[in-house]
Homo-oligomer: A and B are copies of this chain.
Amino acid sequence: VPEMGRISDPSDHEERRGMNKHPEPITIYGGGSWGTTLALLLGRRGFEVALWDRDPAQRARLANDRENRSFLPGMVFPPSIHVLSEAEVPAPSGRLVVLAVPSHGLRWLMQELVRGGEHLWIVATKGLEEGTTLTMSQVVRQVAGEGAGPIVVLAGPSLAREVAEEKPAAVLAASLEADPAILVQRTFATDYFRVYTSNDPMGVELGTSLKNVIALAAGIADGLGLGQNARGALLTRGLAEISRLGEAMGARPETFVGLAGVGDLVTTCTSPLSRNHTLGEALGRGEPLAGAMERIGMVVEGVRTTRAVCELAAKVKLEMPIAQQVYRILFEEVPPAVALRELMTRPLRAE
């Protein structure tokens, strides 16, 4: 099956900035750091972007400051970004809809949006839903139904600040259907933000969501001062753990050695810009969870994902030792040193 896993080349489709004279407007829901970054990227490319956030105070700040001062200070909005002021969820103004809200807000948002008809849903939110253990694109499909249009997952190693600063990155547009993935690729790809298509949305979502759990673990190890040999071993076993779950869920193993696996894991687990890593580090140094989360002041998706992935692992009867030890540290007050020691001295079953 030679087409399986084929990654198309963005240079086939790539459009340079300024080539979009009359592009379709795009609506972005979620004015956090990633939603704002995607708005900047599209706005700079000449798209008309409508940006809406659920929080009235955040909407007002984005509209007045013409930048996201809390997360991306100094990144001024081009005139093509329109901050919507509606209190109720506004209907999308074009076919393309970017979903960039926190994972726990996606179901509610979709329930509001689904009345607006058919769209191409671009899922930029990572995580698993607690309780249902669904991926974000599964939540979209469940709420919107089959007739509501195609879904494309946009994910990969892409720390928001670096993308906003136009540093090079390579990400994936993953969909079960080829054409919508190519459209998303054409819409977002620039010479610094390279978008490759993938036909494994489940693998891409699991890899890029679960890496946040491993990033918490890597941060904890760093906070404990275990060193970089330990971090290398931990990431290796984290990747194996993610791949095993992926296999159980029908994802393709190749996805996890690609950008959505190894790539995102490396970027997230070694970056001071990753809030999951930062939170883990604080926990490893002995800071209590509540205080550390308040200090970071952003949604730390890995915390929710840890809970959801442990639920999912129980459902599919899979051992996920790293996720389970992170869970014990987060929710059962097990001291990080104890949990990590159990991990590091645990027999390695197979590579």
Q: Is the CB of A168 within 8 A of B229?
A: yes
Interface centre among A170, A240, A256 (most CB of B within 10 A): A170
Chain A residues 156-170 with CB under 8 Å of chain B are 157-159, 162-163, 165, 167-170
Residue of B nearest to A225 (CB): B167
Q: Is the CB of B228 within 8 A of A267?
A: yes
Residue of B nearest to A264 (CB): B232
**Which B residues touch A243, using CB under 8 A?**
257
Can you give 7 A-B contacts (C-beta < 8 A)?
A10-B347, A11-B345, A165-B227, A231-B267, A236-B266, A239-B257, A239-B262
- The interface on chain A, measured as residues whose beta carbon lies within 8 A of the other chain's beta carbons, has a size of 58
- Asked whether any CB of chain B lies closer than 8 Å to the CB of A6, the reply is yes
Q: Is the CB of A9 within 8 A of B348?
A: yes
Q: Known: A236-B258, A236-B259. Is A229-B167 also a contact (CB below 8 A)?
A: yes
**Which B residues touch A191, using CB under 8 A?**
345
- Asked whether any CB of chain B lies closer than 8 Å to the CB of A314, the reply is no
- Asked whether any CB of chain B lies closer than 8 Å to the CB of A249, the reply is no
- Asked whether any CB of chain B lies closer than 8 Å to the CB of A350, the reply is yes
Q: Is the CB of B167 within 8 A of A232?
A: no
CB distance from A205 to the nearest CB of B (A): 16
Q: Known: A170-B348, A270-B270. Is A162-B259 also a contact (CB below 8 A)?
A: no
Once bound together, how far apart are the Cα atoms of A271 and B266, in whole Å?
12
**Which B residues touch A349, using CB under 8 A?**
7, 9
Q: Is the CB of A227 within 8 A of B162?
A: yes
Task: Give the top 3 A-B pairs by smallest Cβ distance, nearest first.
Answer: A232-B267, A258-B351, A157-B232
- Asked whether any CB of chain B lies closer than 8 Å to the CB of A263, the reply is yes
CB within 8 A of A228: which of B162, B170, B229, B230?
B162
Once bound together, how far apart are the Cα atoms of A96 and B143, in whole Å?
65
Chain A residues 254-293 with CB under 8 Å of chain B are 254-259, 262-271, 273
